[in-house]
Amino acid sequence: MVKRRFLKWSIGVFSMTWAGVLIAQNKNEAYSELALKSFKFNPEGVELDLPSLVETGNSIPFRFAIKAPPRQKIQSVDMVAPENPNPLLMRLKMSSQTEHLRFATRIRLATSQDVWVIATLDNGQKIGKSIPAVITLSACFDAS
C-alpha cells in the first residue's frame, strides 16, 4: 500500500515538473519577435522613450506613457524583450483601473532588439507599440 502511494506521488510530481516546463516554453514562444509582429496592436495612446543606441545593455533607461481610449481603463501592462533569456521583463497589474499611466525604469537587454509595451484594456482589447534598441555590448550572456 505504501509503495502504491509513493508511486502515485512520484508520478504526480514528475508530471507537474514537466507541465511547468511546457508552460514556460509556450510563454516564451508567445513573446517571440515573430509572434509579436504578427499581432496588429493599435499603437494609439502609447508613447515609448528608449535611447536608440547604447554601449551596454546592463542598465538602459526606459520610459513609457499610455493613455487609454475614451471610456476605457488600463487593466495590465506587459514589457517584453523577445531576445532576452526571459522575454517578459515586467507585468504591471493595476489595482484600480486607470485611464493614464506613466512609468520609468531601467531595463537589461541581452542584445539589439525591439522592446514592446502591451497594455490590456478593461474590454480585453490590447494596445501596444515597440521601439528598437541597438546594443554594442551584450549584458545577459557571458562571452567566456
CA distance 81 to 35: 12
DSSP lists the bridge partners of residue 131 as 115
Instruction: Give pLDDT tens digits for 69-118.
Output: 999 999 999 999 999 999 999 999 988 878 999 999 999 998 999 999 99
CA distance 58 to 107: 7
Q: What is the mean pLDDT of residues 61-70?
A: 94
Q: Flag whether the pTM goes above 0.75.
A: no
Instruction: Give pLDDT tens digits for 21-62.
Output: 334 444 555 666 666 766 778 888 999 999 988 988 889 999
CA distance 12 to 37: 38
CA distance 83 to 81: 6
CA distance 76 to 66: 11
List b or e across 106-127, with b for residues whose CB sees 16 or more CB atoms inside 10 angstroms.
Answer: ebebbbebbbbbbbbbeeeeeb
What is the structure's pLDDT at 21?
A: 39
CA distance 42 to 32: 19
Q: What phi, psi does 121 have (nearest 5°)?
A: -90, 170
Residue with grid cell 520609468, as numbered in its chain: 104
